[in-house]
Structure 1
């Protein structure tokens, strides 16, 4: 293994030891989860998961029972239905807002941006009671429907999205936007054909974080969707934890299934995540 990084600097010996150790520590629970999901109930209750790695006795009955005896299949679909719009909507609105904050002039622009940044530090829990009143029977009457969590995740995700995208767009060469104006392009044309494609690393980075947050969310899904037919996979797992207390093998199978789609999203957009989160550190 090379002792130097891409920029020519030598790797710290401590980092070379710490990084593999951290990878191992983070990987062991996932491997244990995967192995346990293929074990029988008797084996899971009487021995550690590591004893089955090379010992055989693996079975698909847990996954078969998960889809035949629980609502895990529909819950996975519900989570996709929740997560995709709740990721796309805040990015769409925030991208337009970030463009305005970066390349347009209007009164109170700096004050409004400061307010948006300040909202980021407000705990989302303080908004739950007003939102329950607004979305519940005394308000819009959409509590328990997908549109309720779409609106909530859009609202809660917007401040960070605007902040992230605006800081990224501020690093883009202003001459490109000025040239588009000289050529007669409108703000929308400039945004859609120039700024948005150039901002794709930041957009992909926020999309990854937002998707993972929405997918793994329990509190909002529990309060505003509940445990009915529209419940998400995380709510379903939480309910299984109460009804399958002795069925660890079913819980681990469900937990591993719930990890598959986020893992696909993360590894697909990993390079954009790193570029998008670090691009604003150095301008140029």
Structure 2
């Protein structure tokens, strides 16, 4: 009696645990990327994102103030005083030194003898006292190598750099709008074409319909890379070249087989009585398609829109082949991140911010339309 339909399975707990594990595995990288996008370069270099809320120990290179402007004479000795940190910093120095080879030469508060009567004292809060004669206290200031415990620090400077900087390599704003220019038409065009084709294959009788359906199913397994070069040669031959029109048509061609297959399966499952009654009332195929089929097929349309949008937004290969130009005016976000990786490979805070900006729109689209995803994918699976 344990296998009677409608009874609760004894493995429900395993399914629930598996779902939780998958969600956590998917969520952790996204959460880490979000947190890293608000951290400074020093914080990222010294600790992982999971330690972002805790103080971290960092090796810092600091510099005293300009002695030519700040030195004062006291009892025949010149003195330079100040603080090594920026105003409001809560970092605490534990050890320090005047050479990168001996970072821990002195404890905080200890006075270092720099020779010829020149001394340096550094307190834990960053206050320093540098004494010597006029000839010793000159130049750009003394470099201090310190090990300090710094509190958690978050900043919006990374987003200002990525979104509003004038640098052609760091600025993602233009690439963001270029990606929207590619993605929106490349999502709408195949949906419109596939909807008409799916209705014809589902409800219109014509010679060769079964063969055409078989060809469409076969096109689902054709590798994308196989058609890139021939399609590019075709674009160049007919005068389209590399541009937005070419990349729209390329994404449309590569997305149509899945779109037609998905929508046709959904439309076949719609009640036949509704369509036959509409024909009896004198409705044309176009009226049936626009007034009945399209409203009822919205879950399937939304399901494919999610897939197509995510694919075109995250695409790099098609954009590289059909879109990228020498001036970079049509650079999309995926290619801009590759450029950042090459020119700013050490600036992980900039890369994390750029990556999160890139994934934020697909996340919004997915969560806004996810309720239609399963309904669209299961279309036609059960009669």
Fold-level match, TM-score > 0.5? yes
Which residues in structure 2 correspond to 1:220-239 (within 5 Å)?
220-226=318-324, 228-239=328-339
Runs of 4 or more above 2 Å deviation: 7-11, 53-56, 140-144
Contact persistence 1:144–1:225 (CA under 8 A) = yes
Q: Which of the pair is proportionally richer in helix?
A: 1
Distance in 2 (CA, whole Å) between partners of 1:71 and 1:280 is 45
Relative to total residues, which structure has the larger strand share, 1 or 2? 2
Structure number with greater CO (CA < 8 Å, separation at least 6) is 1
Q: Kindly indicate whether residue 360 of structure 2 is the aligned counterpart of residue 260 of structure 1.
A: yes
Of residues 150, 154, 162, the one that matches 2:248 is: 150
Higher gyration radius (CA): 2
Measured after TM superposition, the shift of residue 54 of structure 1 is: 4.8
Of 232, 235, 243, the residue aligned with 1:135 is 235
Query: For residue 82 of structure 2, what is the aligned residue in structure 1?
Result: none
How does 1:118-267 map onto structure 2 within 5 Å?
118-136=218-236, 139-226=237-324, 228-267=328-367
Task: Mark the runs of 5 or more structure 2 residues left unpaired by the alignment.
Answer: 1-5, 56-151
What residue is the counterpart of 2:99 in the other structure? none
SS where residue 379 of structure 2 aligns? helix
What CA distance in whole angstroms lies between the structure 1 residues aligned with 2:160 and 2:209? 56
Alpha-carbon shift at residue 71 of structure 1 (Å): 3.0
Partner of residue 162, structure 2: 66
Contact 2:337 2:351 in 1 (8 A): yes
**Cα displacement string for residues 148-188 of structure 1 (whole angstroms, at most 9, x for unaligned residues):** 11000001100110000000111001111111111111100
Pairwise CA distance, 1:8: 6.4
Partner Cα distance (1:217, 1:155) in 2: 15
Q: CA RMSD in A?
A: 1.4
Following the alignment from structure 1 to structure 2, what is the Cα–Cα distance between the partners of residues 122 and 243? 35
Counterpart Cα distance in 2 of 1:117 and 1:94: 13
Determine whether 1:107 maps to 2:207: yes
Kept after mapping to 2: 8 A contact 1:35/1:53:
no
Distance 2:52 2:336 in 1: 27
Find the aligned partners of 1:64 and 1:143 in 2 and give their Cα distance. 35
Aligned length, in residue pairs: 275
TM-score, normalised to structure 1, is 0.93
